[in-house]
Structures are given as structure tokens and as C-alpha cells.
Amino acid sequence: MNARGYSVNHPSVQERIEKKRQAALTGGGQLRIAAQHKRGKLTARERLELLLDPDSFVEYDMFVEHRCSDFGMEADHNKYPGDSVVTGQGRINGRLVYVFSQDFTVFGGSLSGAHAQKICKIMDQAMMVGAPVIGLNDSGGARIQEGVESLAGYADIFLRNVMSSGVVPQISLIMGPCAGGAVYSPALTDFTFMVKDTSYLFITGPDVVKSVTNEDVSQEELGGAKTHTTVSGVAHRAFENDVDALLNLRDFFNFLPLSNKDPAPVTECHDPRDRLVPGLDTVVPFESTKAYDMLDIVHGIVDEREFFEIMPNYAKNIVVGFARMNGRTVGIVGNQPKVASGCLDINSSVKGARFVRFCDAFNIPIITFVDVPGFLPGTAQEYGGIIRHGAKLLYAFAEATVPKITVITRKAYGGAYDVMSSKHLRGDVNYAWPSAEVAVMGAKGAVQIIFRGKENQAEAEAEYVEKFANPFPAAVRGFVDDIIQPSTTRKRICRDLEVLASKKQTNPWKKHANIPL
């Protein structure tokens, strides 16, 4: 008996706890769960079970209920313990992560004030302890019955997304609809992944689009996984289905440090650090106009050919993603000669810049493979603001203080040479392969300018090639540290990363920098 005169062991309280727990565990009820399964989707709890290590999930706020009393929402049958989101923390391969998983079976996963509050609680704690946040999004949008309280909830989450940015990694996995204001939370997180055929992201749905602009467009075309991973660049990768997505997310999580105060993770590695890669000696074709696949180089160099590519189908002229070198996570950036000659344009600059900044924020060394003929010319690019957007990549490489290793595999022409993690932007180790050509431009263009109107252009071109189409001009000035045999690249990078692990470099104090957005 306590002071208030009733026992906590009173059967009716125990029963109520049990009942509430059971209710929380079944969410919107068996019918809605069956409907969710029929759509090819898992429930919020099934998703967490699959994402987290067995028995590691610690749930918060299972008893939280919405507080809306309008439109009959106050009725008991409209109250669901936990409301429309499951939150808590757990482990992925033993490492701490905070999670929320929106429950589509409860009011279509709509965001109430209580729902937002639950998410904010785990985000706040994640920041304090320094652990990533993974959000599994499956929500119809705002809880309309709650009006501004729902909108306030979104803003509370947005603010935390922004405050956590660069402090702990934030990942969004879109597993159902995500529309209206709700889309800005994934947009603010570091990575947005989608599930093919069952997830959508858009500001306004097809019906509104039709009434405003008279465009006929399906949900899938407007905001499906294909659109966002190939056209808009909003999502970083798409997976086949819920199970595939969650298993891949577990794999992806292993690349990330827990917070900006933790080092990049190092896992056990079986791939010999000093492995020679003979195939690299012949990967770059003799003719400098011929394309090759930068992924052949990346796969050859990294541990076990394992490369988690980010945005593989968007701005394919640049390749970015995570891999490991001797077990240590690294960020890979590479121009892709196979697509648009590997030139830098608006989309590839922005794609590269955001990736470089993520790596820099979270202590992940950056390895850059350069084969870039320059920035893409043309009115489309100039009118689109290539100057502004190209500057982002330049900015990102320049401000980055993590270990930066650069390998010039072939062309490094013009301003694009400067941009691609050059020595001048504080590259720690810059290598050139024997096939490297560091110059202001290709021979033909250069000769037309230097020897304008003169005869013997062919002779002049040959002279230019002899002088500049090789790694020496950069090497004699110390702009590259060494000219290396391609097959030894892995061995050298592994060694350099070990040396650079203790690198300390700081930028001048500032409130924040002003990247050209």
C-alpha cells in the first residue's frame, strides 16, 4: 500500500498495463496489419525487429496517446497506445542506434503532436549520447484533426534534424507514402533510401498537380523510387522491398561512425593490405579519348571489392560511396569516364559536394580518383548556375580536414583539376599514375589558342603533348607527391591511411561557413 491508498500490484492496474501493452503491440489491429501485408509492406514493429539485433530493441513511450479531442478523436476506440509511431533504441551489429518507425496501421501513420514528441525525445537523446538516428517513414502526412499542433510537430522534428546535422548520422528509409511538409525531414537527413514500388516522396500528390498545373502524372512517376534515384537526386538509393532494404541498411550502418566524436569504424579485414592489383596497370586505355569504368579501379582497390555506392543512378559522371581499406571506412569519390567523359556538371558537383561534406563531418577519410576533362560547357549549364554549383564541390574539398588522398588516373584538366581534391586544396597525399595528364586543357584546344593562326599546328600539338600530357609538370612542382605504378595503389593508400589516422587540422573559428548554396 502506498500513500495514495492503492496497491501497484492491484490486479486491475496490472491488467490495464498488460492490455495497453498488447494494444500497443498490435497497432491499428489485425485487419489493418493484414492490409499492410497485402500491400507488400511490413508493419512498423516487424521492420524494427528486422533492422535491429535480436532482443536489442528498447522501446520508449509505449503508453503515449494523442491528445486531440475534436472530431470524436477523444473516443476510446480512437486512442492507440503509442499512437502512430514506434520509437526507441537498439543495436545494429552491437552498435547503438536510435530509431523511429511510423505505423501506417494507426491513422495511416499520420503525425500527431504526440507522434512528433516521441520522435523528438529519441532524437534529443541520440544527440546527447552520440548515436545515429534511423527513421523508417510510412505516413500519410499531418494528423488533420490536430491542425497546427501537427504542423508544430513537424517543425520540432525539422529543428532537431538541423541541430543533429553533422553531430550524429541521420538516415531516412522511406517505406510508404511521405508527402507534404513531411518530406523535409528526410531531405534534411544525411541519407534517404527508398523501397521500390511501395514508397513515394512528393510535396503535392498527383491530384493536386492535376488541379494546379493540369499535368497527368502517376504517383510512381511523380515521386517513386525511380524518379528520385535517377531524375531528382532526392533519394540516395532504392531497394527491392522492405526486407531487402532493411538488410541493406544494416550493412550500410556498419560503414558509419556513431557520431562526429567517434572515429570511422574499423572492422576485421581479411583482404591483404599490401595486395597488388595487377589489373590496374592496364585499366586506363592508351588513347586518352577512350572511356573506361572507374568502378573497375574502385572495386580493385577497396577491401573485397565491396563498394556501397551512393546515388548510383544519378549524375553518373561522378561515382561516390563507401568502402573499406584494411577494414577502415573510407569515402570514395571518382570521376566516371564512362559517362559524359567524367566531366563535372551541376548535378555531379552537388552530388559530390554533399558526399564530401558528410565524410568530413564524420571523420571518414576521402579517397579521390581523378579523370576529369573539365566542367561541362553550354548554355544549359551556365544558365543553370554551374558556377554556383561547381563551387560547392570546390568548397567541400577545400574545407575538409579529414585525411584526403588523391589519385590522378588520367586527365586532370583546367579548373576541374583544382577542384578534385588537389594538393592546393590541402590534399594530404596526391598520386599520379603514369597515364596522368595535368594541364589547363587537352592538346588540341591548347594549341589552337597558343598558336592561333600559325601553321604547323600538328607539330605544335605534338610539342604540347610531349610537355603536358604526362605527370611531370605536376610532379616537378610537387603538386603530386609521387608517380606510382597503378598496381601498387591499394598498398600505398592503406599505408597512408594508417599514417594519416592521427591527422589534426582545424579551420579558423567561425560561426559557420558560407557555402555557396
Taking the complex as a whole, how short is the minimal distance between the CB of residue 272 and other proteins, in angstroms?
Answer: 8
Residue whose CB is less far from other proteins, 166 or 327: 327
Residue whose CB is less far from other proteins, 213 or 218: 218
Concerning whether 180 is annotated as a catalytic residue, the answer is yes
Helix axes 386-399, 346-361, angle to 10 degrees: 20
Taking the complex as a whole, how short is the minimal distance between the CB of residue 279 and other proteins, in angstroms?
Answer: 3
Q: Which of 212, 287, 502, 510 binds other proteins (CB under 8 A)?
A: 287
What CA dihedral angle connects 44, 46, 48 and 50, to 10 degrees?
Answer: -150
Taking the complex as a whole, how short is the minimal distance between the CB of residue 326 and other proteins, in angstroms?
Answer: 10
Does position 125 bind other proteins by CB under 8 A? no
Concerning whether 453 is annotated as a catalytic residue, the answer is no
Does position 42 bind other proteins by CB under 8 A? yes
Q: Is 100 exposed, middle or buried (0-12, 13-18, 19+ CB in 10 A)?
A: buried
Does position 5 bind other proteins by CB under 8 A? no
Of residues 141, 123, 245, 250, the one with CA closest to residue 189: 123
Q: Judging by DSSP bridges, how do beta strands 366-372 and 328-335 pair with one another?
A: parallel
Q: List the x/- string, 22-41, binding to other proteins by CB under 8 A.
A: ---------------x--xx
376: Cβ–Cβ under 8 A, 6 or more apart, which residues?
Answer: 340, 343, 344, 345, 386
Here the cell at position 153 is 510537430
Does position 49 bind other proteins by CB under 8 A? yes
Q: Which amino acid is at 43?
A: T
Residue whose CB is less far from other proteins, 206 or 265: 265
Taking the complex as a whole, how short is the minimal distance between the CB of residue 253 and other proteins, in angstroms?
Answer: 10
Please state, in angstroms and rounded to a whole number, the distance separating the CA atoms of residues 327 and 269.
5
Residue whose grid cell is 588523391:
406
Q: Which of 215, 244, 466, 482 binds other proteins (CB under 8 A)?
A: 244
CB 402 within 8 A of CB 428: no
283: Cβ–Cβ under 8 A, 6 or more apart, which residues?
Answer: 292, 296, 297, 300, 486
Q: Which of 18, 221, 251, 382 binds other proteins (CB under 8 A)?
A: 251
Q: What are phi and psi of 76, to 5 degrees?
A: -55, -40
Name the catalytic one among 24, 225, 340, 416: 416
Residue whose CB is less far from other proteins, 196 or 503: 196
Q: Which of 268, 383, 452, 453 binds other proteins (CB under 8 A)?
A: 268
Residue whose CB is less far from other proteins, 183 or 469: 469
Please state, in angstroms and rounded to a whole number, the distance separating the CA atoms of residues 168 and 256.
10
| Region from 102-110, 270-278, 365-373, 439-447 binding other proteins, contact rule CB under 8 A | 270-278
Q: Which of 44, 194, 283, 325 binds other proteins (CB under 8 A)?
A: 283
CB 349 within 8 A of CB 383: no
Q: Which of 18, 215, 221, 240 binds other proteins (CB under 8 A)?
A: 240
CB 493 within 8 A of CB 301: yes
Q: Which of 327, 384, 415, 445 binds other proteins (CB under 8 A)?
A: 327
- HEC assignment per residue over 371-383: EECCECCCHHHHH
Residue whose grid cell is 486531440:
68
Residue whose CB is less far from other proteins, 313 or 448: 313
Please state, in angstroms and rounded to a whole number, the distance separating the CA atoms of residues 106 and 257.
34
Q: Which amino acid is at 181?
A: G
Does position 512 bind other proteins by CB under 8 A? no
Cα distances from 376 to residues 13, 67, 293, in angstroms, run 70, 55, 19
Please state, in angstroms and rounded to a whole number, the distance separating the CA atoms of residues 280 and 275.
12
Name the catalytic one among 27, 108, 180, 442: 180
Task: Find the helix or strand (DSSP H, E) in which 482 lies.
Answer: strand 482-483
Residue whose CB is less far from other proteins, 36 or 347: 36
Residue whose CB is less far from other proteins, 89 or 150: 89
Does position 371 bind other proteins by CB under 8 A? no
| Region from 10-18, 226-234, 265-273, 362-370 binding other proteins, contact rule CB under 8 A | 265-273
Q: Which residues, in sequence order, are bridge partners of residue 86?
A: 101
CB 124 within 8 A of CB 60: no
Taking the complex as a whole, how short is the minimal distance between the CB of residue 304 and other proteins, in angstroms?
Answer: 5
Does position 385 bind other proteins by CB under 8 A? no
Residue whose CB is less far from other proteins, 10 or 261: 261
Here the cell at position 285 is 586505355
Of residues 330, 298, 302, 336, the one with CA closest to residue 317: 336
Q: Is 35 exposed, middle or buried (0-12, 13-18, 19+ CB in 10 A)?
A: middle
Name the catalytic one among 23, 152, 166, 181: 181
Q: Which of 4, 77, 270, 510 binds other proteins (CB under 8 A)?
A: 270
Near other proteins in 86-105, by CB under 8 A:
91, 93-96
Taking the complex as a whole, how short is the minimal distance between the CB of residue 267 and other proteins, in angstroms?
Answer: 6
Does position 220 bind other proteins by CB under 8 A? no
Q: Which amino acid is at 341?
A: S
| Region from 80-88, 260-268, 369-377, 415-423 binding other proteins, contact rule CB under 8 A | 260-268
Taking the complex as a whole, how short is the minimal distance between the CB of residue 324 and other proteins, in angstroms?
Answer: 11
Catalytic residues: 180-181, 415-416
Contact set with other proteins (CB under 8 A): 37, 40-42, 46, 49-50, 53-54, 91, 93-96, 197-198, 239-244, 247-248, 250-252, 254, 258, 262, 265-272, 277-283, 286-287, 293, 296, 299-300, 303-305, 327
